[in-house]
A and B are shown apart, each in its own frame.
Chain A
Amino acid sequence: MSTSTRQDDLCFMSISDSARLIASKEVSPVELTSAVLDRIRQCNDELLAYITITGEVALEQARAAETEISAGQYRGRLHGIPVSLKDIIMTKGIRTSCASLDNPDWVPDRDATAYNKLRQAGAILVGKANLREYAFASVNPNFPPPVNPWHRDRTSGGSSSGSAVAVAAGMGHASLGTDTGGSGRSPATQNGVVGLKATYGRVSRDGVFPLSYSLDHTTVMTRTVHDSAIVLDAVSGFDPRDENSAREPVPDFCEKLGRSIKGLRIGIAGGFTNKLVDAEVARLTSQAIRVLEDMGARTLELNLPYVAQCLPVYQPIITAEAATVHYQTLRETPEKLGPDVRSQLDLGSLVPATMYLQAQRIRKVMRDAFREVFEKVDVIVGPALAGRPGPAGKFTTYIDSHEVDDRLVNPEYTGIYNLTGLPALAVPSGFGSDGTPIGIQIAGAWFDEATVFQVAHAYEQATEWHRRRPPDLFSRI
């Protein structure tokens, strides 16, 4: 096997396979980390997935992992695994820019809880991933957006685009991002990886710079469903530092993987007000549902409740909460903010309190309606996004030949699960004729991520989308 092929295989290997080789000492954490760092150095100038590459930290952590494993102190499946963090997640002694000129050289004096948990599990930090400014702006002139490795002229999505690109391009085995209305699942879909938003409160947001406290989630990106469950196992759990952290017990998220889905009740997501789902997205979603039916799942057409109310409810909440977070900057040094994020914050500053509070009340009604839905079904399956990635540098999506504003379309597909706090996972379901990835979304009842993983894993194993790699990378390496 040539050196480059060996590097390629190591970089694109799943966490579960890498862990097996590390545990059996066939691959060392230093070898794996070095391979991923080499890949990052080769690709990052072109793909812009990382704002900061933490090479020295990574090698130091990898050497420590190797010493521990050699001494028989193997910590588990993330020991020696290279991961990244969206650059809005605090890292002690390492710059956390939030992709903004507001405070671009901020060096936190402590780690975020989720990163702490990854460290305790033995994971290796290879870098801080690029994002849209403060996880909010659509176009950021100060930090150029990551490049979609499947199609360079198309958007890599956002806001956790660097995390998604890094995982898709073999520049790290997993990444933590954030998701306030789809900012994790959307770039995961557009870059062909698995994106998980667990139940609100399941994963701590402590040390994650806030966008909208009642909608924010810390999320997981990986190349396979099994890997997503492994990472969620590590980062879940009650955290007193996060006021909305859940005390719910943490199960073994891998427990149901491989179990039959025969007899499971799958609700097919419907009732969207925007009828213009891209034809290729609709076709691949139908194909995915047939795959699930062929495995014995029972399907039921659903009209999801309150989808028409998503955008009107979502927009005042996210803008008002974000404006509250950034109010001082908005008043005193607004020139430090990019024009797009500033406009959104200005808008949020003018949202009346009565509107914000009514929007929050409606969320309770939505939650109750979804509770009834989950009396009839075990999971909900539908398209992850309505369209295919729009042009690079824009926050739009292609629905057939139309270019549509993402912010107007996606709340019904992704934002609904932020409003209700339900767990939702985006998993690749194929490619459009333009070569861009398309995904389905599987949502479950509160704190039932295990069933979401069960269905997603069954689908993934019955298809081959997760085995594909971005084509351009093959020719370059």
Chain B
Amino acid sequence: MMSPEPFSPEQIQTLAQFAQLDLPAERVEALARPLAELMERFEQVRSVDTGDREPPTITFDRGELA
């Protein structure tokens, strides 16, 4: 995999706001490259045809629901 362009501190701060995390500068800096790599890696599988099936969910025992 080619090394992707790291996220900028501003981009990470914006994402962190959505996650309601107040990240100091050193934690923002530590995320720049790993986050870019994770995103890029996932692009390789985003288009895998899953037949639009629902993801696995917690299953409940029928007896308990009755």
Contacts and interface: CB of A to CB of B under 8 A. Distances in A.
A312 B20 contact: no
Interface stretch (A88-96, A146-154, A261-269, A345-353): A345-353
A312 B44 contact: yes
B38 interface: yes
A235 to B, nearest CB: 21
Interface string B26-62: 0100110011001001101110111101111011110
B41 to A, nearest CB: 4
B19 interface: yes
Q: Is the interface of B mostly helix, strand, loop or mixed?
A: loop
B42 A312 contact: yes
B16 A350 contact: yes
Contact of B56 (A308, A350, A360): A360
Contacts of B22: 331
B32 to A, nearest CB: 11
Nearest to B20: A331
B15 A350 contact: yes
A343 B53 CA distance: 32
Interface residues of A, number: 34
A243 B49 CA distance: 29
A200 to B, nearest CB: 10
A346 B23 contact: yes
Interface in A270-322: 308-309, 311-313, 315-316, 319
Contacts of A315: 38, 41-42
Interface string B5-25: 000000010011001111100
A237 B45 CA distance: 35
Contacts of B19: 349-350
A364 B45 CA distance: 13
A371 to B, nearest CB: 15
A292 to B, nearest CB: 33
Interface centre among B12, B21, B23, B30 (most CB of A within 10 A): B21
A357 B27 CA distance: 26
Given A315-B38, A362-B45, A347 B55 contact: no
A358 interface: yes
A349 B12 CA distance: 11
Given A346-B23, A347-B35, A311 B50 contact: no
B43 to A, nearest CB: 8
B56 A346 contact: no
A244 B55 contact: no
Contact of B45 (A247, A309, A319, A330): A309
A365 interface: yes
Given A312-B42, A312-B45, A362-B50, A343 B55 contact: no
Given A347-B31, A350-B15, A362-B50, A316 B56 contact: no
Contacts, number: 84
Contacts of A364: 50, 53, 55-56
A313 B12 CA distance: 22
A346 B31 contact: yes
A339 B53 CA distance: 37
Interface residues on chain B, size class: 20 to 34
A347 B41 CA distance: 14
B30 A343 contact: yes
Nearest to B30: A343
Contacts of A313: 45
B45 A361 contact: no
A350 B54 CA distance: 22
Nearest to B56: A360
B48 A343 contact: no
A362 B41 CA distance: 14
A202 interface: no
A316 B21 CA distance: 18
Given A330-B21, A358-B50, A364-B50, A244 B34 contact: no
A346 B24 CA distance: 11
A419 to B, nearest CB: 11
A355 interface: yes
Contacts of B56: 214, 360, 363-364
A346 B27 contact: yes
A343 B45 contact: no
B24 to A, nearest CB: 9
Given A309-B44, A343-B31, A360-B56, A350 B50 contact: no
Contacts of B54: 361
Q: Which of A312, A339, A358 has the largest number of chain B CB atoms within 10 A? A: A312
A342 interface: yes
Given A309-B48, A315-B42, 18 more contacts: A243-B59, A243-B60, A244-B59, A309-B45, A312-B41, A312-B45, A316-B38, A339-B30, A343-B27, A346-B16, A346-B30, A350-B12, A350-B16, A351-B38, A357-B55, A358-B46, A359-B42, A365-B49
15 contacts: A214-B56, A312-B44, A315-B42, A346-B21, A349-B19, A350-B12, A350-B31, A351-B38, A359-B45, A361-B54, A362-B45, A362-B50, A363-B55, A364-B56, A365-B51
